[in-house]
Chains A and B, each alone.
Chain A
Amino acid sequence: MTLLEIRSLTHWFGGLRAVHDFNLDLLSGELVAIIGPNGAGKTTVFNLITGVYRPTQGSIRFQGRELVGLPSHEIISLGMARTFQNIRLFRELSVLDNVRIAHYARTHYSVWEALFRLPRFTREEERVRHEALELLDIFGLADLAELPAKSLPYGQQRRLEIARALATQPKLVLLDEPAAGMNPAEIDQLMETIRWLRSEFNLTILLIEHQMRVVMNIAERIKVLDFGQTIAEGTPQEIQHNPLVIEAYLGEETVL
């Protein structure tokens, strides 16, 4: 089942074309990576999919539903989640609150019920708290629930960001350079985590990453972008030996 279908996605920032004719068919359960040199337009693609920008041209369909024109929060509610290159947690808020906020769209009480603490509010709040703590426990963060997010070490902040993303119960997760700033041991663990996330939560994953080890080891399919254009697409093996890709990264033919 095609979960995400992108056609002719093009986006201009003023006179600069950041993304040109990007296409993608993402099947349920797949793990696809988007790679390319800095400034190739990878994060822009993520921003376009999640509604941060409205694409100049093109269509994005998620489970058959057209996303272009929808506000971000609605797109997320449809079953998508994303993490960021530079972690964007709610730093002053507690670990627990960071996860609870992601329950916003799935919390079913009105303002009145909240203002006057009617029974539905109490029930829903309890459910949200419980689910949030469960999720935190899975990531080993439950003991830190009350600490402000900013006080966590980098590795745990990354985990919290992923936990927060999962709190929206997504079918598709967009990971933006999850390995940034990690040492090799942490990267190994990250790869395990991603594989585990995928099977445990039944996820489809779209990944932006610079670290070739991660990409080559876990991606099933890779798309390569350069200057906004797709210059190659295929399995890790195919990409590794593609001269266009090598040139884009290194500027000349090199053996990887």
Chain B
Amino acid sequence: MKKAFWDRWGLPLILLLIFPLTILLPRSGLINPYIDLVLKYIGINIILTVSLNLVNGYMGEFSVGHAGFMAIGAYVASILTVWVFPPQWEAVLFPLALLAGGAAAGLAGLGIAFPSFRTRGDYLAIVTLAFNMIIKSILENLEVLGGPRGFMGMTKLTTLWWVYLMVILVIYLARNYVYSSFGRGVLSIREDETAANLVSVNTRQVKVLTFVFSAFLAGLAGGLFAHELQFINPRSFTILKSTDMLVMVYLGGIGSLGGSILGATVFTVVMEGLRSVLQAVGISQEWRLVVAPLMLILLMLFRPRGIMGLREFRFLLPREERSEVIRAAREAARAKAVIGEVRS
């Protein structure tokens, strides 16, 4: 009885207990602002990694321009909080701004979904990169949004607890998506798209859903990012950012949410750690930027499936997918068949 209780309520309880910590720790000064910042970045990066993993990892597609979606989310959320929302209600309406940013990004996701019907592989990679460049180009040309100089004026609405809540929400939704018929459809596209179509999977529908959902998540992260930095410009969302996302996905493990959490955490910590190390040793910070591409190359050469590969942490699996539950279901199915036989 005890085990069953922990099995079902253990994780939610732990998550609930951590929540007040995320409010108190930064406020009380028990963790310094730098740690607070790094934790927030880890959270934002987790969301970005999950977002890209859905498309590149689970679906096996080639999106290498996801920073474009992040940009859209960042700008839309910022426009809302800076120009539209009355200042006294900013903090309360913040989640709305984030959702709006995500929705706008999701809409843009449609823009990638349709080309993906006809192009695959390298070509889709180019399409997504072109898309990234076009977004950047449009933003640079929109003087009203600050053009190349960027957009500023956001209040630092991104608190550690907001990031925490968002991360939990994102992982919850992503997990639910993956362990559903849509998620299975996503995996089938990766394995064999033609065969998927021939077992009744509406691959177009699945692609649209996945691209939109993924873009939405990246947009959410963009909104959080914007309200942490309080300043965004088109140059924050180029292929360099997309590459960071790629590293995190492939580091953690394609097709694994646990892997995304790991990959994002390891990458963020390593990059921040490098900052201090380089400073201590006296090497210029510019060498940090060499690390991510190098990691990417090494990953592709030696461990393309990442730390977790296709495996998943047990606590992330929905109950029905766990082995014991499947076994029990199998026995139940058998028992029913036997009864049916006996009766007839």
Contacts and interface: CB of A to CB of B under 8 A. Distances in A.
A182 interface: no
Interface stretch (B44-52, B283-291, B330-338): B330-338
B209 A111 contact: yes
A101 B177 contact: no
B31 interface: no
A90 B192 contact: yes
Interface string A83-113: 0100011111100110011111111010100
A166 to B, nearest CB: 11
Interface stretch (B133-141, B181-189, B259-267): B181-189
Nearest to B323: A146
Contacts of A111: 177, 182, 209
A71 B197 contact: yes
A90 B188 contact: yes
Interface in B96-140: none
A176 B329 CA distance: 33
Contact of A77 (B180, B188, B200, B209): B200
B180 A104 contact: no
A133 B188 CA distance: 19
Contacts of B329: 129-130, 133
A101 B198 contact: no
A133 B333 contact: yes
A256 B71 CA distance: 71
B326 A128 contact: no
Contacts of A190: none
B334 A114 contact: no
Interface string A50-94: 111000000000000000000111101100011010001111110
A117 B182 CA distance: 13
Nearest to B178: A114
A171 interface: no
A146 B197 CA distance: 23
A97 B184 contact: yes
Nearest to A100: B184
Interface residues of B, number: 35
Interface in A155-170: 164-165, 167-168
B276 interface: no
B303 interface: no
B242 interface: no
A238 interface: no
Given A114-B180, A137-B334, A106 B200 contact: yes
Nearest to B334: A137
A101 B334 contact: no
Given A142-B334, A145-B330, A72 B187 contact: no
Contacts of A104: 181, 184-185, 199-202
B181 A72 contact: no
B199 A102 contact: yes
Nearest to A103: B181
B191 interface: yes
Contact of A114 (B182, B188, B192, B198): B182
B195 A88 contact: yes
A60 to B, nearest CB: 15
A103 B197 CA distance: 12
Nearest to A83: B198
Contacts of B336: 134
A91 B200 contact: no
Contacts of A143: 330
Interface string A107-151: 101010011110001000110111001100100001101100000
Nearest to A107: B181
B120 to A, nearest CB: 15
B310 interface: yes
B179 to A, nearest CB: 9
Contact of A102 (B177, B180, B200, B209): B200
A72 B197 contact: yes
Given A115-B176, A121-B180, A90 B330 contact: no
B32 interface: no
A124 B186 CA distance: 18
B53 to A, nearest CB: 15
Contacts of A116: 176
A125 B180 contact: yes
Given A92-B310, A121-B180, A105 B330 contact: no
Contacts of A106: 200
Contact of B337 (A129, A137, A167): A137
A140 to B, nearest CB: 12
Contacts of B192: 88, 90
Contacts of B326: 96, 129, 133, 145-146
B204 interface: yes
13 contacts: A76-B198, A77-B200, A88-B192, A90-B192, A101-B196, A101-B199, A104-B200, A111-B177, A121-B180, A128-B181, A129-B320, A137-B333, A165-B199
Given A134-B333, A137-B330, 4 more contacts: A73-B202, A76-B199, A101-B184, A115-B173
Interface of A: 50-52, 71-74, 76-77, 81-82, 84, 88-93, 96-97, 100-107, 109, 111, 114-117, 121, 125-126, 128-130, 133-134, 137, 142-143, 145-146, 164-165, 167-168
Ranked 3 nearest A-B pairs via Cβ: A105-B200, A114-B180, A90-B191
